Amino acid sequence: MTAILLELLPVLAEFLLFGLASVGLSIFGLYLEHFAVATLQTGDPKLGVWAGVMGAVALYFAYLLATDRAAAALAALRAELR
């Protein structure tokens, strides 16, 4: 039983790392988007647009990380459990 858990540990750690990184990037991207809207409402369009673009980039990387890395790690974890 312990040997099976030790074999699953790297795959589980990879899945958790990529999953948490994707969630963190999503939260950061949403914060930047909120900041961009608030900045645009106060009348600073350059900073607002820049923050909006950076928020969109963070959300895009979060999406890529979730669909490419975390999904692959989840598939590997499922394959190990079978």
Local confidence pLDDT in tens for the 82 residues of the chain: 677 778 889 888 999 999 999 999 999 999 999 999 999 999 999 999 999 999 999 999 999 999 999 999 999 888 888 8
Give dist(CA 66, CA 21) in Å, integer: 9
pLDDT value for 55 = 98
Q: Would the pTM count as exceeding 0.75?
A: yes
Q: What angle do CA 4, 22, 27 make, to 5 degrees?
A: 140
pLDDT value for 77 = 87
